[in-house]
């Protein structure tokens, strides 16, 4: 039975700005869904307020509304588009579901004759209202932890008295575990109960008996209208119950589950999905399993939407859950749809994995001074990485190499902990680096039984760690000349990087690389094919591994490399790695547009990235996807294999930019702006010489490498001073100091955390206005795509400022200086592609704060505000395909666009919320206003002085 032919136009609700608990995995889902609908000839209307995403790109839908996610906006859109037949709210996370519910309660869908697809209201209510959900589980005989709901403080106290401690408090209708907490002691209960009741929009909490130490699993399901159900992926949390799944290290396929228990869990998941409502679409179910031989199963929750894990499951299996869920919502059945990877088998099958994936979250605690760093029920991570390998160990090492936290993998990098008390404390109180500390504990001789007793992590995982440590000890017995080939191959197969092996052998990374070459131990690339190679896959989606050579009957030796190199001219685009504060989804937007533009210029496009949440790692964005760490060794091997014309580094944020020096040194062609120019812009001394030559003013500054040098400089520069390390992202470590005592303590702190770094001291222009400009340059011609003025004073990081496009009170004389300076600097740096320049304006003089010859955080915002594909144009300029003068620029904007930062401070209640030079926002929204009399603008402008912190 084919799709519902009455549906001609669909409204998709997006997830709004990125916050902790709801990140760009919903941008990925929404983008896939929009494409899936348009393949069916259905008109797509989209509402989302996030300008940084691909989802809100004009090419994604027939009409994109960058409006606040409110029922008022929904009504405006439905009036504008009476042709809307259906709404799909399951692609926009909890935000979209909550908005859909509110619209339903107000009778909006009924008034406009719009039907709900992909889920039904009943299912949302049952799964979000903890009491209803509990009653449902009772009815269908699915076990759950003893639990009761409370809608008042008194009720909560009575339940606690009945159950005893430890307890878990979970608010209804919240996101990313907001307000959830473990209560170990009676004295903590009152405050945490109050917080939970306040966090829930309906002031209801579920109080349940804590299943501490139980194992946690997630299943991703799809169901069609004929009640066919497939389980796409089973994910095991390495961390036991008690840590939010978004903050847990997760593994697929499940590693420690007996087949009998897995079958029971499958049956329960399918029963739960069928019982919550008669809808077709996606679902995520979470279970806890007792860590004993009985393996008792308890249901935790069910989400009738694509979830954070469904993006991960899609990338892990190659099965595009959001795309298929959308088709099912239209009325297709699974047996009618094609497997997107093989193109020859049906979508009514369950993927089989002949590899392992490991997801590790990425945290940003350094941005939140005073934050509670222990992990618990409330999600705190800002992004995630995924490693794919032939074994758990290889996938784990690749995931840790992807994190970009100056670690080269697990162990063997000289950065582990060696203090017994510290290690025990970190095992007891799960922290962001516990994944490394387990290895340190084994190295210190702490028995596995003790580690298991403290962490409750399954023994199977701990034994994997023990094997890795034993292997390191074995390698250390040799030197570069005596290391046997078999041992080197085994070390590589278990995921150790050349740099780690060099650390074990006491030699250079390049020497290990040369040894591998001479021994013919090279990476081979394998397909992610959904079917463990049972059928031929058409989609070029690869991961790397190492294999022993195979000898054929005729004596020839070969290794099975599934990535076949074509004769076409190729371009590699380096992705931006995990999302973090300072480098978010806007760089994924730039990478995707870069890939599409390179394809338009006739290149075969190759994407390298390790972030499972993003559109750039979708299997059909680039011609070839290498899901690999954005880490030198992996990238260089891919370059050696593919032999591209060049590599684009300026679209992947600081992650890709940091690799430019190595690429240049190894003779790899950098497309667009040269490494020399990128380095010149980062080197404050050389950059200032250039500005002096160009007769462009900049704040007085100096460079220091010790506290003493900094103190001497302060005498010349005058306080207040802005102190910052060089080559960092999102203003990391920046601070304004007003006297020598503050200066000394901050400098000592910085040099301790970033040893060997140069510190920059600038005279801080108090009371200045901050502005920034983005431009495209082809080496000679410059086109300024946008000039923005910040509402907050100079000193608040540009990523945390409300920025208006165009500026609202810069005079003609100041604007002319900004334009002249931008053009002069872009040409002087021989920029080819994008450049972002930041300015401070004081007494009608425009000073240069910094220049970044790369895609910036603001490029997607300007592109959305003006309705122009600037990254596409810039990529064509980088490739030498076009000059700036070849484009017919035609920006359209009535009134002003304001970029508004969004913060996730509610996850860190004790943190100082004042803003300063270090970036703290996790996302942004866009607001259009007709004029400066708008109340929103007036409110922002009136509050601007409240923000600045030192």
For the chain, give the mean pLDDT. 91
Cα–Cα dist 536/530, whole Å: 10
Q: Is the model's pLDDT at 231 over the cut of 60?
A: yes
Q: What is residue 391's DSSP assignment?
A: S
> What confidence tens digit (pLDDT) does each residue in 863-920 have?
999 999 999 999 999 999 999 999 999 999 999 999 999 988 878 877 878 788 888 8
Contact indicator for 52, 590 with CB cutoff of 8 Å: no
The string of DSSP letters for 491-538 reads HHHTT--HHHHHHHHTS-HHHHHHHHHHHT--EEEEE--SBTTSS---
Dihedral sign of CA atoms 255, 261, 263, 269 in order: negative
Q: Is the model's pLDDT at 537 over the cut of 70?
A: no
Sheet of strand 281-289, all strands in order from the earlier edge strand to the far edge: 297-303, 281-289, 215-223, 229-237, 250-252, 356-362, 383-389
Neighbours of 695 (CB within 10 A): 8
Q: What is the pLDDT of residue 950?
A: 38
Cα–Cα dist 469/474, whole Å: 9
Unique residue bearing structure tokens 């992926």: 233
Two tokens, residue 83: 């042709």
Q: What is the pLDDT of residue 949?
A: 42
Contact indicator for 645, 392 with CB cutoff of 8 Å: no
Cα–Cα dist 429/376, whole Å: 9
Q: Is 387 helix (H, G, I), strand (E, B) or coil?
A: strand
Q: How far is CA 609 from CA 124, 326, 675, 881, in A?
A: 34, 26, 21, 25
Closest to 388 in 3D by CA, of 549, 654, 611, 583: 611
> What confidence tens digit (pLDDT) does each residue in 349-359 have?
888 899 999 99
> What confidence tens digit (pLDDT) does each residue in 593-613 have?
999 999 999 999 999 999 999
Closest to 681 in 3D by CA, of 849, 829, 798: 829
**Identity of the highest mean pLDDT range in 187-196, 673-682, 935-944:** 673-682
Contact indicator for 606, 622 with CB cutoff of 8 Å: yes
> What confidence tens digit (pLDDT) does each residue in 772-795 have?
999 999 999 999 999 999 998 888
Neighbours of 853 (CB within 10 A): 28
Closest to 814 in 3D by CA, of 768, 866, 858: 768
Q: Is the model's pLDDT at 160 over the cut of 70?
A: yes
> What confidence tens digit (pLDDT) does each residue in 27-65 have?
899 999 999 999 999 999 999 999 999 999 999 999 999
Give the residue-averaged pLDDT of 310-337. Answer: 92
Q: Is the model's pLDDT at 948 over the cut of 90?
A: no
Closest to 710 in 3D by CA, of 765, 758, 762, 747: 747
| Confidence label for 88 from pLDDT (cuts 50, 70 and 90) | very high
Q: E strand or H helix at 542, and its extent? A: strand 541-546
Q: Is 593 helix (H, G, I), strand (E, B) or coil?
A: helix
| Confidence label for 346 from pLDDT (cuts 50, 70 and 90) | confident
Lowest mean pLDDT among 74-78, 642-646, 762-766, 845-849: 762-766
Give the residue-averaged pLDDT of 208-215. Answer: 86
Two tokens, residue 905: 């401070």
Unique residue bearing structure tokens 């860590």: 291
Residues 6+ apart with CB under 8 A from 415: 406, 407, 436
Contact indicator for 741, 924 with CB cutoff of 8 Å: no
| Confidence label for 729 from pLDDT (cuts 50, 70 and 90) | low
Percent of the chain with pLDDT over 70: 97
Contact indicator for 713, 705 with CB cutoff of 8 Å: no
Q: Is 790 helix (H, G, I), strand (E, B) or coil?
A: strand
Two tokens, residue 604: 């075969």
Closest to 590 in 3D by CA, of 800, 311, 784, 872: 872
Count H helices, E strands: the chain? Answer: 31, 35
Q: What is the pLDDT of residue 728?
A: 60
Contact indicator for 220, 273 with CB cutoff of 8 Å: no
Lowest mean pLDDT among 272-276, 826-830, 937-941: 937-941
Q: What is the pLDDT of residue 533?
A: 60
Give the residue-averaged pLDDT of 250-261. Answer: 95
The string of DSSP letters for 879-918 reads TTS--GGGS------SSEEEEEEE--GGG-TTS---B-SS
Q: What is the pLDDT of residue 730?
A: 57
Q: How far is CA 442 from CA 423, 436, 501, in A?
A: 10, 10, 19
Give the residue-averaged pLDDT of 827-844. Answer: 96
Cα–Cα dist 724/742, whole Å: 13
Residues 6+ apart with CB under 8 A from 541: 318, 341, 527, 528, 529, 619, 625, 627
Closest to 385 in 3D by CA, of 742, 75, 629: 629
Q: E strand or H helix at 132, and its extent? A: helix 130-139
Better-predicted residue by pLDDT, 237 or 23: 237
Crossing angle of helices 186-199/153-163, nearest 10°?
A: 140
Dihedral sign of CA atoms 932, 934, 940, 942 in order: positive
Q: Is the model's pLDDT at 135 over the cut of 60?
A: yes
Q: What is the pLDDT of residue 356?
A: 97
Strand 541-546, strand 624-627: pairing: parallel
Give the residue-averaged pLDDT of 291-316. Answer: 90
Cα–Cα dist 719/737, whole Å: 7
Q: What is the pLDDT of residue 159?
A: 87
Q: What are phi and psi of 787, to 5 degrees?
A: -120, 130
Cα–Cα dist 757/625, whole Å: 35
Q: E strand or H helix at 327, and its extent? A: helix 321-329
Q: What are phi and psi of 261, to 5 degrees?
A: -70, -35
Lowest mean pLDDT among 274-288, 630-644, 729-743: 729-743
Two tokens, residue 617: 């790692």
Cα–Cα dist 315/610, whole Å: 10
Two tokens, residue 418: 């060696």
Unique residue bearing structure tokens 């130490």: 213
Neighbours of 297 (CB within 10 A): 23
Q: Is the model's pLDDT at 410 over the cut of 90?
A: yes
Taking only Cα atoms into account, the Rg of the chain, rounded to an integer number of angstroms, comes to: 28
* Burial degree of 198 (CB within 10 A; 0-12, 13-18, 19+): exposed
Q: What are phi and psi of 233, to 5 degrees?
A: -155, 140
Residues 6+ apart with CB under 8 A from 795: 722, 736, 764, 766, 770, 916, 917, 948
Contact indicator for 615, 579 with CB cutoff of 8 Å: no
Two tokens, residue 383: 């992004």
The terminus-to-terminus CA distance of the chain in angstroms comes to: 64
Two tokens, residue 933: 């009399």
* Burial degree of 334 (CB within 10 A; 0-12, 13-18, 19+): buried
Q: What is the pLDDT of residue 56?
A: 94
Q: What is the pLDDT of residue 1?
A: 43
Count CA within 13 A, CB hemisphere, residue 654.
Answer: 18
Q: What are phi and psi of 106, to 5 degrees?
A: -85, 0
Q: What is the pLDDT of residue 534?
A: 59
Q: How far is CA 790 from CA 82, 110, 430, 795, in A?
A: 38, 42, 39, 11
Instruction: Quickly list H helices, 783-830.
Output: 812-828
């Amino acid at each position: 039975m084919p799709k519902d032919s009455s549906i001609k136009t669909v409204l998709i609700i997006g997830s709004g700005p990125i916050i902790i608990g709801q990140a760009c995995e919903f941008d990925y889902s929404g983008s896939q869904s929009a494409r899936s609908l348009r393949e069916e000839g259905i008109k797509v209307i989209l509402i989302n307020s996030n300008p940084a995403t691909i989802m809100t790109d004009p090419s994604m839908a027939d009409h994109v509304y960058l409006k606040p996610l409110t029922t008022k906006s929904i009504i405006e859109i439905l009036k504008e588009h009476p042709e809307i037949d259906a709404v799909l709210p399951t692609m926009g996370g909890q935000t979209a579901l909550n908005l859909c519910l509110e619209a339903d309660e107000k009778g909006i869908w009924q008034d406009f004759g719009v039907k709900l697809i992909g889920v039904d209201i009943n299912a949302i209510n049952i799964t979000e209202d903890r009491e209803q959900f509990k009653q449902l589980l009772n009815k269908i005989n699915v076990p759950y932890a003893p639990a009761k709901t409370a809608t008042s403080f008194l009720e909560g106290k009575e339940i606690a008295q009945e159950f005893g401690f430890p307890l878990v408090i979970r608010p209804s209708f919240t996101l990313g575990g907001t307000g959830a907490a473990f209560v170990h002691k009676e004295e903590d209960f009152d405050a945490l109960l109050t917080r939970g009741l306040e966090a829930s929009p309906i002031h209801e909490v579920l109080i349940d008996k804590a299943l501490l130490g139980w194992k946690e699993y997630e299943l991703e399901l799809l169901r069609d209208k004929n009640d066919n159900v497939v389980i796409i992926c089973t994910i095991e949390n390495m961390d036991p119950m008690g840590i939010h799944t978004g903050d847990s290290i997760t593994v697929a396929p499940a590693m420690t589950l007996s087949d009998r228990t897995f079958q029971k869990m499958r049956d329960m998941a399918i029963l739960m999905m069928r019982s919550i409502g008669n809808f077709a679409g996606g679902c995520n179910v979470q279970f806890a399993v007792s860590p004993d031989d009985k393996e008792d199963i308890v249901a935790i929750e069910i989400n009738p939407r694509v979830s954070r894990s469904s993006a991960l499951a899609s990338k892990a299996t190659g099965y595009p859950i959001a795309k298929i869920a959308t088709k099912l919502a239209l009325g297709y059945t699974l047996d009618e749809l094609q497997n997107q990877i093989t193109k020859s088998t049906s979508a009514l099958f369950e993927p089989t994995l002949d590899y392992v994936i490991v997801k590790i979250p990425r945290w940003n605690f350094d941005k939140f001074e005073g934050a509670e760093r222990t992990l618990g029920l409330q999600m705190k991570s800002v992004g995630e990485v995924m490693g794919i390998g032939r074994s758990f160990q290889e996938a784990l090492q690749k995931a840790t190499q992807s994190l970009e936290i100056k670690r080269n993998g697990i162990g063997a990098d000289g950065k582990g902990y060696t203090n017994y008390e510290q290690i025990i404390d970190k095992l007891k109180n799960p922290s962001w680096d516990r994944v490394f500390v387990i290895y340190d504990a084994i190295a210190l001789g702490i028995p596995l039984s003790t580690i298991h007793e403290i962490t409750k992590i399954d023994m199977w995982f701990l034994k994997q760690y023990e094997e890795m440590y034993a292997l390191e000890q074995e390698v250390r017995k040799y030197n570069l000349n005596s290391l046997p080939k078999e041992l080197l191959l085994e070390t590589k197969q278990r995921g150790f990087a050349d740099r780690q092996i060099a650390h074990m052998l006491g030699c250079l990374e390049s020497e290990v690389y040369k040894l591998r070459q001479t021994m013919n131990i090279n990476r081979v690339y394998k397909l992610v094919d959904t079917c463990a190679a049972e059928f031929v896959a058409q989609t070029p989606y690869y991961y790397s591994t190492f294999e022993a050579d195979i000898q054929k009957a005729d004596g020839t030796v070969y290794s099975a490399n599934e990535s076949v190199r074509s004769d076409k001219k190729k371009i590699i685009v380096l992705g931006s790695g995990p999302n973090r504060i300072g480098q978010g989804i806007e760089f994924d937007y730039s990478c995707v547009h870069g890939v599409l533009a390179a394809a338009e210029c006739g290149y075969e496009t190759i994407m390298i990235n390790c972030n499972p949440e993003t559109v750039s790692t979708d299997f059909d964005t680039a011609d070839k996807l290498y899901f690999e760490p954005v880490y030198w060794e992996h990238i260089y091997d891919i370059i050696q294999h593919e032999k591209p014309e060049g590599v684009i580094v300026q679209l992947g944020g600081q992650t890709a930019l940091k690799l430019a020096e190595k690429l240049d040194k190894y003779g790899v062609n950098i497309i667009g702006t040269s490494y020399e120019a990128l380095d010149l812009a980062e080197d404050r001394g050389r950059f200032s010489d250039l500005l002096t030559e160009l007769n462009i003013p900049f704040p007085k500054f100096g460079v220091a490498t010790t506290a003493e040098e900094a103190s001497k400089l302060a005498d010349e520069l005058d306080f207040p001073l802005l102190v910052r390390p060089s080559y960092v992202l999102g203003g990391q470590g920046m601070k304004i100091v007003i006297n020598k005592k503050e200066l000394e303590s901050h400098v000592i702190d910085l040099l301790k955390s970033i040893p060997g770094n140069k510190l920059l001291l600038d005279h801080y222009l108090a009371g200045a206005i901050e502005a920034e400009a983005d431009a495209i340059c082809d080496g000679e011609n410059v086109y300024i795509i946008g000039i923005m003025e910040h509402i907050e004073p100079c000193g608040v990081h540009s990523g945390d400022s409300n920025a208006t496009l165009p500026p609202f009170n810069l005079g003609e004389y100041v604007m002319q200086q900004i334009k002249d300076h931008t053009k002069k600097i872009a040409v002087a740096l021989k920029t080819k592609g994008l450049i972002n320049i930041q300015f401070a304006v004081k007494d009608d003089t425009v000073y240069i704060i910094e220049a970044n010859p790369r895609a910036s955080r603001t490029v997607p915002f300007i592109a959305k505000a003006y309705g122009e594909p600037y990254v596409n144009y810039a990529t064509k300029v980088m490739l030498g395909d076009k000059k700036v003068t070849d484009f017919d620029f035609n920006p359209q904007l009535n009134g002003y666009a304001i970029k508004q930062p969004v913060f996730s401070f509610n996850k860190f209640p004790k943190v100082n919320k004042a803003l300063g030079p270090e970036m703290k926002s996790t996302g942004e929204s866009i607001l259009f206003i007709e004029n400066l009399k708008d109340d929103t603008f007036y409110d922002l402008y009136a509050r601007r002085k409240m923000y600045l912190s030192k």
